[in-house]
Amino acid sequence: SVDLRGFGAFATANSLVLINGRRLNDIDIAQVDLSTVPLNSIERIEITRGNAGAVLYGDNAVGGVINIITRNGVGGPPVAARIEAGFGSFDTRLGNVSTSLNSGPWSTSFYGNAVKTDGYRDNNRLVQENGVGNLNYTTSDLTAFVTVTGDNQELRLPGGRTVDPSIGVDELATNRRGTSTPFNYANQQGFSATAGFTKTLANGIDLIVDGGVRDKKQQSAFFSGPAPVPALFTSTYVDADLTTWSITPRLSVKGLLLGMPSQLLTGLDYYDASFQQNRGAGQGLAPWHNYDLRQQTVAGYFQHTLGVAPTTDVSYGVRVQSVSLSARDHFDVAAPFNTDIGALPLRSDETQYALHLGGEHRLNDIVSLFGRAARAFRTPDVDERVSSGPSFDPFFNPLPQTFRLKTQTSQDVEGGLRIKGGGLQLQSSLYLMDLANEIHFSPILFYNTNLDPTRRYGSP
């Protein structure tokens, strides 16, 4: 898990994760499952704290941006291969494979890993299988790539152990490895294909175009009793499918502007995500809800860095992003064991913007001072919208779900210093972040709300 700027349980939705500069965050609450990235495929990880990345990458970049740079085999030996295997307690078995081939301008690589374990608890089994393959073409003025990934996860859910002295129950003392949910599970299958190229148009001017598709399927079942019989014990079965298409052309211009070093990055982002989810009492039974949502995002942006003096850089940027959402709940009041209520359809069109203004001054070759101010935003994900109203419960008044949550916005300022010398790198800063409509899940009311204005400050 990742937590930047102290968002705690909501950090995943407030941290943007990239793979080689392309966003991984989906429009569902799961956002990014880091376990689907083969560890042996990672070359390095770059972290930008705060919302300075919102101009280049869009929503979710409130707490920070994490860019995972992966290996692709380019520039390596003609043939390379590595295989690893291991075993451990609780019937744990794992394996990793890394291969690459290079011939002239062409290179290809594959990285995969698998792990299977029964886990410490009963009903605690995990099966995880991931793979990523690359094909690259590299010349002095043109690079192109195709990347295909796949992952499969089977996860059993043991639930918590009850310790309540008031009723004389201490499951940790009687059977700490046991489970009260021996049939709960959550499975996931993912696939993605990405292709793109970088073409040098002139000295210092590069055209970068890439696009792709991601698909994620999820199935899960939750039972309130120790037997998987919906007629006797309330249960929930969820079957979801999320598909995201994207294309992100951009232009990089490096050179001199009025005699000063200049770097400009400008581009367009287009994302089209379709989400379908069935919720019912069990697999094979008619679902209570069939959620059907589609979200389209179109954005334009630029960010410019200018060396106004030999020791001073200034950067500024703007992003304008339009989000169109249509959502509908195809509700079946006659579905088996249904005690829920339906949701009203929603059509929403909204335009948000992100801003960035920053500067850095190098006192010498070792110490630099920096400061910045920025605005960022976070669009509610589809699960937060689906859960934006309580289901029927005898202790609450039933209210219809409306999918309606306001977009969260943040404004922050930060200043600090960097020290780089030899093998030492040190950064310290102070930041102040003001948020409006922060999205928060209420564990008492069991739905999501927008909070009154909140503030965070600290020193990372």
pLDDT over 70, % of the chain? 92
Residue 138 confidence class, pLDDT cut points 50, 70, 90: very high
- Whether residue 46 is contained in a domain is answered as no
Distance separating alpha carbons of residues 136 and 115, to the nearest angstrom:
28
Q: Which domain holds residue 132?
A: 82-458
Specify whether the CB–CB gap between 173 and 205 falls below 8 A: no
* pLDDT (tens digit per residue) in 386-414: 665 444 444 334 444 556 788 999 999 99
Better pLDDT: 9 or 177: 177
Residue 55, classed as helix, strand or coil, is helix
Better pLDDT: 111 or 50: 111
* pLDDT (tens digit per residue) in 281-306: 888 888 888 889 899 999 999 999 99
In the predicted structure, residue 231 carries a pLDDT above the cut 60:
no
* pLDDT (tens digit per residue) in 149-198: 999 999 999 988 889 899 888 888 889 999 988 989 999 999 999 999 99
- Which pairing describes strands 15-19 and 64-70: parallel, antiparallel, or unpaired? parallel
- Whether residue 51 is contained in a domain is answered as no
The confidence score (pLDDT) of residue 398 equals 41
Residue 40, classed as helix, strand or coil, is helix
Specify whether the CB–CB gap between 385 and 363 falls below 8 A: no
Angle at 163 between CA 160 and CA 164, to 5 degrees: 135
Candidate from 327-341, 351-365, 382-396 with smallest mean pLDDT: 382-396
- Whether residue 290 is contained in a domain is answered as yes
The confidence score (pLDDT) of residue 224 equals 67
Most confident of the ranges 70-79, 88-97, 320-329: 88-97
Task: Specify the CATH number for the domain of residue 194.
Answer: 2.40.170.20
Distance separating alpha carbons of residues 178 and 171, to the nearest angstrom:
8
Residue 125, classed as helix, strand or coil, is coil
In the predicted structure, residue 353 carries a pLDDT above the cut 60:
yes
Looking at the structure of the chain, the number of domains it has is 1
- Whether residue 57 is contained in a domain is answered as no
- Whether residue 159 is contained in a domain is answered as yes
The confidence score (pLDDT) of residue 394 equals 40
In the predicted structure, residue 340 carries a pLDDT above the cut 60:
yes
In the predicted structure, residue 236 carries a pLDDT above the cut 70:
yes
Residue 453 CA to chain centroid, in angstroms? 24
- Whether residue 19 is contained in a domain is answered as no
CA distances from 99 to 40, 107, 133, 195, 324 (A): 10, 11, 9, 20, 42
In the predicted structure, residue 108 carries a pLDDT above the cut 80:
yes
- Whether residue 53 is contained in a domain is answered as no
Residue 386, classed as helix, strand or coil, is helix
* Mean pLDDT value across the chain: 88
Residue 27 confidence class, pLDDT cut points 50, 70, 90: confident
- Burial of residue 162 (CB within 10 Å: 0-12, 13-18, 19+) is exposed
The confidence score (pLDDT) of residue 230 equals 53
Q: Which two tokens stand for residue 264?
A: 């400009």
Mean pLDDT along residues 307-316: 95
The confidence score (pLDDT) of residue 392 equals 41
Specify whether the CB–CB gap between 66 and 46 falls below 8 A: yes
CA distances from 123 to 154, 176, 229, 243, 407 (A): 12, 13, 17, 30, 38
Better pLDDT: 442 or 117: 117
CA distances from 407 to 89, 170, 215 (A): 46, 43, 25
In the predicted structure, residue 447 carries a pLDDT above the cut 80:
no
Question: Within 10 A of 74 (CB to CB), how many other CB atoms are there?
Answer: 18
Question: Where would I find the H helices in 142-204?
Answer: 171-175
Q: Which two tokens stand for residue 280?
A: 């019912």
CA distances from 311 to 291, 294, 321 (A): 55, 48, 34
Q: What is the pTM assigned to this prediction?
A: 0.87
Tally the C-alpha atoms within 13 A of residue 266's C-alpha that lie toward its C-beta.
10
- Whether residue 17 is contained in a domain is answered as no
Specify whether the CB–CB gap between 129 and 137 falls below 8 A: no
Angle at 151 between CA 145 and CA 156, to 5 degrees: 165
